[in-house]
Amino acid sequence: MRFSGCFIPTSKETPAEAQIVSHRLMLRAGMITQTASGIYSWLPLGVRALGKVADIVRQEQNEIGANEVLMSIVQPSELWKESGREQSYGEELLRFKDRRQRTLLYSPTNEEQITDIFRKYIRSYRDLPKNFYQIQWKFRDEIRPRFGVMRGREFLMKDGYSFDLNVEQAKKTYKNIFTAYLKTFKRMGLTPIPVQADSGSIGGDMSHEFHILASTGESLLYYDKKISEFDFSSPDVFKKFSKVYAASEDKHDPDNCPVHKSDLEQSRGIEVGHIFYFGTKYTKSMNATVSDANGNQIYPEMGSYGIGVSRLLGAIIEANHDDKGIIWPKEITPYQIGLINLSVDNEVCTALSDNVYQGLVKQNIEVLYDDRNERAGEKMADMDLIGVPYQIIIGQNSIANKTIEIKNRRTGEVSKVEQHDIINVDFGKINEAELYKK
Ligand code: ATP
Ligand code: MG
If asked whether residues 277 and 191 sit together in one domain, one would say: yes
Tell whether the model's pLDDT for residue 397 goes beyond 50: yes
Tell whether the model's pLDDT for residue 198 goes beyond 80: no
Question: Does 152 sit in the ligand 1 pocket, CB within 6 Å?
Answer: yes
Residue 168 Cα to ligand 1 middle (Å)? 27
If asked whether residues 267 and 381 sit together in one domain, one would say: no
- Higher pLDDT: 434 or 316? It is 316
Q: CA–CA distance from 337 to each of 168, 188, 288, 365 (Å)?
A: 48, 18, 51, 8
User: Would you call 163 exposed, middle or buried from its count of C-beta atoms within 10 A (0-12, 13-18, 19+)?
Assistant: buried
**What is the distance between the alpha carbons of residues 382 and 29, in angstroms, rounded to a whole number?**
8
Give the angle 348-349-352 at the CA atoms, nearest 5°: 85
Question: Does 194 sit in the ligand 1 pocket, CB within 6 Å?
Answer: no
Residue 285 host element (H or E): helix 281-285
What pTM, to 2 d.p., does this model score?
Answer: 0.94
In percent, the amount of the chain with pLDDT more than 90 equals 79
Contact 252, 269 (CB under 8 A): no
- Answer yes or no: is 308 within a domain: yes
pLDDT 10s digits, 52-77: 999 999 999 999 999 999 999 999 99
Band (436; pLDDT cuts 50, 70, 90)? very low
If asked whether residues 197 and 260 sit together in one domain, one would say: yes
Residue 181 Cα to ligand 2 middle (Å)? 19
Question: Does 142 sit in the ligand 1 pocket, CB within 6 Å?
Answer: yes
Q: Which ligand is nearest to the CA of 250?
A: 1
Structure confidence at residue 201 (pLDDT): 58
If asked whether residues 263 and 358 sit together in one domain, one would say: no
Residue range 71-98: average pLDDT?
A: 96
Residue range 258-273: average pLDDT?
A: 94
Question: Does 314 sit in the ligand 1 pocket, CB within 6 Å?
Answer: no
Structure confidence at residue 435 (pLDDT): 45
For 201, other C-beta atoms within 10 Å of its C-beta total 11
Residue 303 Cα to ligand 2 middle (Å)? 17
Q: Among 322, 347, 370, where does a domain finish?
A: 322
- The count of domains in the chain is 2
Domain range enclosing 350: 335-435
Question: Does 23 sit in the ligand 1 pocket, CB within 6 Å?
Answer: no
Question: Does 272 sit in the ligand 1 pocket, CB within 6 Å?
Answer: yes
Residue 40 Cα to ligand 2 middle (Å)? 18
- Higher pLDDT: 202 or 218? It is 218
Residue range 247-262: average pLDDT?
A: 90
Question: Does 271 sit in the ligand 1 pocket, CB within 6 Å?
Answer: yes
Q: Among 272, 299, 322, where does a domain finish?
A: 322
In percent, the amount of the chain with pLDDT more than 70 equals 94
Q: Among 322, 349, 381, where does a domain finish?
A: 322
- Answer yes or no: is 85 within a domain: no
Q: Domain of 121: which CATH number?
A: 3.30.930.10
Residue range 11-34: average pLDDT?
A: 96
Residue range 105-116: average pLDDT?
A: 98
Question: Does 409 sit in the ligand 1 pocket, CB within 6 Å?
Answer: no
**How does the average pLDDT of the chain come out, rounded?**
92
If asked whether residues 176 and 127 sit together in one domain, one would say: yes
- Answer yes or no: is 161 within a domain: yes
If asked whether residues 283 and 339 sit together in one domain, one would say: no
Structure confidence at residue 200 (pLDDT): 63
Band (399; pLDDT cuts 50, 70, 90)? confident
Q: Which ligand is nearest to the CA of 91?
A: 2
If asked whether residues 225 and 344 sit together in one domain, one would say: no
Contact 162, 173 (CB under 8 A): yes
Structure confidence at residue 52 (pLDDT): 98
**What is the distance between the alpha carbons of residues 96 and 250, in angstroms, rounded to a whole number?**
32
> Which residues lie below 8 Å from residue 437, measured CB to CB, with a gap of 6+?
none
Residue 156 Cα to ligand 2 middle (Å)? 13
Residue 381 Cα to ligand 2 middle (Å)? 37
Band (422; pLDDT cuts 50, 70, 90)? low
